[in-house]
Amino acid sequence: GESVGLHLPTLSVQEGDNSIINCAYSNSASDYFIWYKQESGKGPQFIIDIRSNMDKRQGQRVTVLLNKTVKHLSLQIAATQPGDSAVYFCAEAPYGTYKYIFGTGTRLKVLA
Amino acid sequence: DSGVTQTPKHLITATGQRVTLRCSPRSGDLSVYWYQQSLDQGLQFLIQYYNGEERAKGNILERFSAQQFPDLHSELNLSSLELGDSALYFCASSVVVTGGTEAFFGQGTRLTVV
């Protein structure tokens, strides 16, 4: 399959444990944030988004936390499964634009 | 399947050549975005079109150009190719113009310049 990046930080978690992937964003004008999952050989896939007027948003097994004070975003995956193994990207965008700025990505490895 | 179609999936070409990458957005989506993903730079926004007009520009080289046609499909033209242009090129589409919404990505075109 495709290799997204050879120098990505890697997070290894045991199957069934919770995963926390962190992201620092750069633009204080960004007010919309998204997490994407990219599996080998595939395009990025939307997971969850959050606006800057929120601190937390929950989806199915995923939670995104936003700390605007320190410009930090995190993605929590509950009960991590082998199918969660992928590269996860955060993206930020200023309001009204779609010039998503992607982070470098974190590779999540789920250990059986 | 995101509904965004990109062709070709793989492309191998020589330095100095010109190639065209094609993207068909999801049905009804008016916006198309192009991204470049290389090993050392992650996903880089190149350009956005909305309903045939250029809407936003990112780090797109002058050797690269894009357009969106009346049927909303888009093409990314890469010319005078260099080895460093080897990368995955993704197209994405979305329907909302203002505010935030998810962008749906195609499977990408893997360009290898030799």
At A55-102, the pLDDT tens digits run: 999 999 999 999 999 999 999 999 999 999 999 999 888 766 667 788
A6 or A42: whose pLDDT is higher?
A42
At A13-56, the pLDDT tens digits run: 999 999 999 999 888 888 889 999 999 888 898 899 898 999 99
* Interchain contact B70–A (C-beta under 8 A): no
Q: What is the DSSP letter of B15?
A: T
Question: Looking at beta carbons, which residues of chain B come within 8 Å of A32?
Answer: 99-100
Upper half-sphere CA count for residue B53 (Cβ side, 13 Å)? 2
Average pLDDT of B22-41? 89
Contact in structure between B19 and B13 (CB atoms under 8 Å)? yes
Q: How confident is the model at residue B40 (pLDDT cuts 50, 70, 90)?
A: low
Q: How far apart are CA B4 and CA B24, in angstroms?
A: 6
Question: Looking at beta carbons, which residues of chain A come within 8 Å of B40?
Answer: 5, 7
Instruction: For residue B41, give the chain A residue with the closest CA.
Output: A104
B contact residues 22-61, partner A, Cβ 8 Å cutoff: 31, 33, 35, 37, 39-40, 42-45, 48, 55-56, 58
Q: Do B55 and A98 touch (CB under 8 A)?
A: yes
Q: Token pair of B91, please?
A: 């197209």
Q: How far apart are CA A95 and CA A31, in angstroms?
A: 6
| Residue A2 scores a pLDDT above 60 | no
Q: Token pair of A110, please?
A: 């789920």
Q: How far apart are CA B21 and CA B26, in angstroms?
A: 17
Peptide bond preceding B8 in cis form (omega within 30 of 0): yes
Q: How confident is the model at residue B69 (pLDDT cuts 50, 70, 90)?
A: very high
Q: How far apart are CA A45 and CA A52, in angstroms?
A: 21
Question: Looking at beta carbons, which residues of chain A come within 8 Å of B99?
Answer: 32, 95-96
Question: How far apart are the CA of B108 and the nearest CA of chain A, in angstroms?
Answer: 6
Q: Do B88 and A2 touch (CB under 8 A)?
A: yes
A contact residues 75-104, partner B, Cβ 8 Å cutoff: 89, 91, 93, 95-104
* Interchain contact A52–B (C-beta under 8 A): no
| Residue A1 scores a pLDDT above 60 | no
Q: Do A43 and B4 touch (CB under 8 A)?
A: yes
Q: How far apart are CA B112 and CA A87, in angstroms?
A: 22
